[in-house]
Amino acid sequence: MRRAGGGDESGIALLVVLLTITLLTIVVIELTDKAQVETHLALGARNALQATYLGRSAVNVGEALVSVDAMITPGRDALDDVWARPYPPLPIGDGTATFRIRDEARYLNINDLVGANPEERFARFGRLFTVLGIDPGVLSAIRDWLDRDHEPHPSPPGAEQPYYFGLRPPVIVRNGPVVTLRELLLVKGVTPSVLARLEPFVTALPPGSTTVNINTAEAPVLAALSQDLFANPGVVGRVISDRQTEPFTSVSEACATGLERALPRCKQGDLIGTGSAYFRIEGVGEVDQVRRGILEVVKRDGTRMARVTWTPSNATLALTSLPPSDFLATLPVFGDR
């Protein structure tokens, strides 16, 4: 009987030891797993910080190129300038920095939709919307979003504050210039797909701050400038062909290509120009597959640069492709730097 009792006690002791070892093994595994997670998060945070500063460095390189270009070809900005060339990713430390620069004068400024000669401006954007296949009612809604009155555009019908009060949640109409194109998603009829079609041809800058750069504007933008250009795509094609051979150095030189007959007030320089004061610089930093993007709009005055907006953005390294893409969507501005 004593032997049997001793055996029972030994079995219980062995069970306790095995249970203790099992519990300790679980604790060690949990601690190891937690340590691995914390290490992964720490490395991710480090890589994200490094990628952010690489993106900033890329933007700084872009600023330098825009500034230098003002000394190389003053008064003229074209697709063969140093800022417009595609550059491969720059290896820096453990990562890469990539950037792309585009002049804002290649676009129509959406904030110029209202102002002096409103019907002429409305017709100009109407031609662009026709080329892009966008409902003209969307243009009326955008105009109502920008103008300071409270009367909806009659034809095609737009939308003013009463319409937006009926939304859930309600929206307050801007009744002034938009800061970014992303804001247009609040406007009646502007869906993400509509905005994606607009972004390659439209920008948001202070009203009256830009003319269209005849050396860089895409065909839909040039065709929208007048009804004659809209009806005669051959003239637009000839302008694009001529500038590829040799960029225009003056508005008079551009008008002499036959543009003057299709574009009223061509030589006055109030619609077209050969340079740009505003530039969009997109920078992306990548470290170990962690990417951070920055989108900046700068104003160039001589060789001096002033930042207009500075925003984080969706990041990709496809910045060196020649055809412009719209992957870097401008987010609401969180502050000027």
Query: Is residue 135 in a domain?
Result: yes
pLDDT at 97 over 70: yes
For 116-132, letters b (16+ CB in 10 Å) and e give eeeeebbebbbbbbebe
Query: Is residue 217 in a domain?
Result: yes
Residue whose token pair is 């009060």: 165
pLDDT at residue number 5: 54
If asked whether residues 60 and 121 sit together in one domain, one would say no
Query: Is residue 304 in a domain?
Result: yes
Q: Which residue has better confidence, 26 or 39?
A: 26
Give the pTM.
Answer: 0.80
Instruction: Say if residues 176 and 148 touch (Cβ distance below 8 Å).
Output: yes
Query: Is residue 15 in a domain?
Result: no
Please give the structure tokens belonging to residue 54.
Answer: 């690489």
If asked whether residues 232 and 308 sit together in one domain, one would say no
If asked whether residues 286 and 258 sit together in one domain, one would say no
Query: Is residue 38 in a domain?
Result: no
pLDDT at residue number 196: 94
Q: What's the whole-number average pLDDT of the chain?
A: 86
User: Beta strands of the chain (E only): which ranges?
Assistant: 90-92, 95-103, 108-109, 202-203, 212-213, 272-273, 278-287, 290-301, 304-313
Alpha carbon distance 160, 149 (integer Å): 9
Query: Is residue 216 in a domain?
Result: yes
pLDDT at residue number 326: 34
Residues in the chain: 337
**HSE value, Cβ hemisphere, 13 Å, CA-based, for 124:** 24
Q: Tell me: cis bond preceding 156? Omega within 30 of 0 counts.
A: yes
If asked whether residues 98 and 169 sit together in one domain, one would say no
pLDDT at residue number 165: 93
> pLDDT tens, 3-30?
555 557 777 888 888 888 888 888 888 8
> pLDDT tens, 136-186?
999 999 999 999 988 998 888 999 999 999 999 999 999 999 988 999 999
CATH of the domain at 178: 1.10.40.60
Query: Is residue 57 in a domain?
Result: yes
> pLDDT tens, 200-253?
999 999 888 779 999 999 999 999 999 999 998 899 999 999 999 999 999 999
Query: Which range marks the domain in which residue 87 is found?
Result: 44-106+276-313
Instruction: Say if residues 277 and 283 touch (Cβ distance below 8 Å).
Output: no
Q: Which of the four pLDDT bands, split at 50, 70 and 90, describes residue 32? A: confident
Q: How many domains does the chain have?
A: 3
pLDDT at residue number 6: 57
If asked whether residues 153 and 166 sit together in one domain, one would say yes
If asked whether residues 262 and 287 sit together in one domain, one would say no
Q: Which of the four pLDDT bands, split at 50, 70 and 90, describes residue 335? A: very low
CATH of the domain at 296: 3.30.1300.30
Average pLDDT over residues 35-51: 83
Query: Is residue 130 in a domain?
Result: yes
Task: Tell me phi and psi for residue 279, to 5 degrees.
Answer: -135, 145
Q: Which of 50-59, 102-111, 299-308, 325-334 has the lowest mean pLDDT?
A: 325-334
Final residue belonging to a domain, choices 273, 293, 326:
273
pLDDT at 321 over 70: no
pLDDT at 66 over 90: yes
pLDDT at residue number 317: 54
If asked whether residues 284 and 268 sit together in one domain, one would say no
Q: Which of the four pLDDT bands, split at 50, 70 and 90, describes residue 328? A: very low
Instruction: Say if residues 29 and 267 touch (Cβ distance below 8 Å).
Output: no
Classify residue 258 by its DSSP letter: I
